[in-house]
Structures are given as C-alpha cells and as structure tokens.
Amino acid sequence: MDGVGYSGLTITPFYDSMLVKYTARGASFEETVNRMIRALQELRIRGIKTNIPFLLNVLTHPVFKTGIVTTSFIDQHPELKQVEGTKWGFASGSQSDMKNVLRVENSLRYLANLAVNGHPSELGADASKLIVGSSDTTKLLLPTPPPSNGGMRKILLEKGPEGYAKAVREHKGLLITDTTWRDAHQSLLATRMRTNDLLRASKYSNYALSNAFSMEMWGGATFDVAMRFLHECPWERLEKLRERVPDIPFQMLLRGANAVGYTNYPDNVVHRFCKQATKSGIDIFRVFDSLNYLENLKLGVDAAGSAGGFVEGTISYTGDVADPSKGKYNLEYYVKLARDLSDMGVHSVAIKDMAGLLTPRATKMLVAAIREELPDMPIHVHTHDTAGAGVASMLAAAEAGADIVDAASDAMSGLTSQPSLGAIVSNLRGTELDTGLDPTILAPLNNYWENVRSMYAPFESGQLSGSSDVYQHEIPGGQVSN
C-alpha cells in the first residue's frame, strides 16, 4: 500500500505472482476510500486466493478511515489478517457467489459478441444492416464516389467571400445548406452524434452535396457537447472532416460575442477563435444573437470578417409578421435589422427561425420585404419543422426570392429538426428553382443516416409527430431534445 493522501490512494491487489495496481482519487479522503472500496468490491478473480479481503478489511477499518495511521497500523491490528469467513462474500469463493459471477460474465460475453458481430442469422436478422459501427460501413452502405469536380467551394476559394456572395445572387436555382451534421442531430438527438459516424459519410457527402451552398457542421452546441459528453476534441472533428470534404463550404454557428460558449468573452478571444476556426476549415460564419442585440452581433461579424470568413449576419425570428397583433416583431422591425446587418458589411443575411414559427404566408411577406430592401444581398432562410409546415415554408421562401434554405437529410429531418432535403429537392426538380441536387444520388446517403440514427434512439426528443402548439409555446427546436 502506498501513496495515501487526501487526493489519492493507490493499492496493489495480488494473486499468485501477478500484481494489479488500482488508483482512486477524490475531493476528500473519505470519498477516495469509498471509491477504492467500490473498485475492489467489483473486481472479480476466480479460482485462486487474493489479498482483496485483507485490503477491504484495512479500508473499512474505523481507524484507517480517520486517515491518521502509521506504518505500525497493521501490526497493531492483527484482526485485519483474518480473512477466512470474511463478509466480502465474493472473495470467500462460495459456490453461489461463483455462479453469480459466471452468470454476469456470460451475459457480458453475449453482449460483446452482439455488438461486434450483430444478431445471429439463425434468428432471422440481416447482419448487414446492423454493422454501422464496423470499419466496413462505408463500403456496405455508401457507394464509392467519383473523382471530385471542385463543387461550390471552388468558387469561394477563387473569388473570396464577396465573389461568392455575387455568384449566389446570380445563381438561377435554389441553393441548399445541409444541416445534418449540426442542427439536425442537435434538435433530434441532443447533439450526441459522434465524429466517427460523420467521417464514414464524409466522402460520399462531398460528392452528393457538391452543388450545395454549404454544410452546417460545427459551432453552436456541438463544441461543448463534444468535450463534455462525447469526450472528443471539436477542433479535431473540424479538421478531419475538412480533409475529407474539400468541395463544400463548411458553415458554423457563432453566438456573436459569446462565440460558442454561454457567456460574453473578451473581444480578442472571439477574434482569435474565429481566426483558428478559419485555419481549421470553417468557410462561413452564421453570426447570431438570440435577442438580436446589435453590439453582440457586431463583434461576431467583425471577428469572422477579419479572419477572412464569409459572414452571414443573422436575424433571430419570433412572432408572426402576418399577424399584426404580435406586437413589435413586425415587418418594419425585421427589415430595419436586415439593413443594420448590411451596414455592418455582412456577405449575406439569414432569417433564423429557431422554433419553426414561419408559416408560408409569413415567409413570403418577410423574404419579399427584405429582398426589396436589399436587392443585391443573398438571403438565407432557416427553420425547424416542429409544426410540420417546414417544407411548405421553404418553398414559399424560394418563390419569394430567397437564395438559400436549410434542410436535413430525410432520415434526420422533420419534427424538431429542419425540413426534408429530399422533399425540397424533389418538389423543385425540373423547375426554374431546381436545387442542382440529384435525388437518386442522395438516396444512399439517406439510407446511411437511417441506420445511424437508430443507434442514438436513447437521445431522441420523444416527439413522434408534428406539433402545431409550437406556435403558442415557441420553444426552439434545438432545445427540445436537450
């Protein structure tokens, strides 16, 4: 036994000539000892004698628990060595205890085999549909994409943010931002999507979505959730995905002066963050403030712009511009805000409908009013499909003059997420607003997300259908699953 202290405790259980070292740490000596006791109680060694009962006798002794002992402690308490018939049942080697241990181990072996090899075919399961976690997932679920053609990002890299904004306004069809990698799984699965599941879809996504305006894939809640719950590095996620998706602009959500946190940061921190984000692979910064506070927005706009990014100034939408009784949040309010953002020097203006309150009628009114005020500014519309009206609202936005709308892969769309990508693409196929995306090429990608989503069922929001009461409670879609 060594290393006893208020912050840590290290002991060495042994059996025959083999040694195992356990270290426990805690905020206090009592907590540390309790953690070590639990660790030893859960240790299972069969068929041979160990010193575990002796160590447990020591750890549970009232004198030892005071933390005031010397090297003569064991000599002064010979009862510590009495381990025969100990109360630590598992260590006594009784037949009933051994059967319990074997039962637990057999269950664990079965679950491990199931996780690796899938359900046995004799039960009628199709194992090929259950191996999303294997290294062969991409080959099984997604075709090998053809060579790259440069995609929309080529325009951004060659012409810069201003040139890209001009190209967007001159583009004849409706452009799409795919939110599957960020807001879709935040809204449906509490932001728990792992980097590995994104990486497996990355190369095919680069091909299938090469004509998209962008992929929203970083920022917002993904940054802190990656560290707090997934134990991943958000910067590594960005850099790995950037390497595999060279042809589509990457878009992030920046909370103005809050960056990707929940408090205001010093200006130099936000500037440094944006600079590093650009270096690691972000092209487009959607800068927003939930209260449309201009000073917070301005810091985000300046930071993203000075880092060389395409800056999308964002209007957080609430109320209903088609209903005069809604008070201050009317057309005049939003048009003035769009003008203020334009004066800041943004490259596009986004309408961010966080709760999914936009109706087709309100969407047409709002987009048309901003288009009249800012004829040369790209307009980007974002909504959630909580009420079930998302596809209709996005089609209305396109007809009213919006250049870009947000959508998610069908399997990750609807409910509190964004409207269905496939529905929007198919409804505009062959029209003047054709998105340039091919439904037959998108289909394998959707199959992949169907399989992946099933693994995250424990994190689903629980909503099973559209819920029009969002027009009353106005809860943002990204908050429901959280």
The answer for residues whose C-beta is within 8 angstroms of residue 371's C-beta and 6 or more apart is: 379, 400, 401, 402
Does residue 9 register a pLDDT over 90?
A: no
CB contact at 8 A, 342 and 377: yes
CB contact at 8 A, 121 and 127: yes
Does residue 122 register a pLDDT over 60?
A: no
Q: In the prediction, which pLDDT does 117 show?
A: 67
Give the pair of three-digit tokens for residue 213.
Answer: 């305006």
Q: In the prediction, which pLDDT does 148 show?
A: 77
What separation, in Å, do the N-terminal and C-terminal C-alpha atoms of the chain show? 44
Q: In the prediction, which pLDDT does 195 show?
A: 95
Q: In the prediction, which pLDDT does 479 show?
A: 66
Full-prediction pTM beyond 0.75?
no
Q: What percent of the chain has pLDDT over 90?
A: 58
| pLDDT band for position 363 (cuts 50, 70, 90) | very high
Lowest mean pLDDT among 62-76, 278-292, 348-362: 62-76
Q: In the prediction, which pLDDT does 304 show?
A: 97
Lowest mean pLDDT among 62-66, 100-104, 220-224, 318-322: 100-104
pLDDT higher at 3 or 436: 436
Strands 18-19, 14-15: pairing is antiparallel
pLDDT higher at 87 or 401: 401
CB contact at 8 A, 213 and 310: no
* Nearest residue to 353 (alpha-carbon basis) of 262, 416, 426: 416
Does residue 313 register a pLDDT over 90?
A: yes
Note the pLDDT tens digit of each residue in 377-416: 999 999 999 989 999 999 999 999 999 999 999 999 998 9
Q: Which domains does the chain have, with CATH numbers?
A: 8-95 (no CATH), 154-480 (3.20.20.70)
| pLDDT band for position 130 (cuts 50, 70, 90) | very low
Note the pLDDT tens digit of each residue in 182-204: 999 999 988 999 999 999 999 99
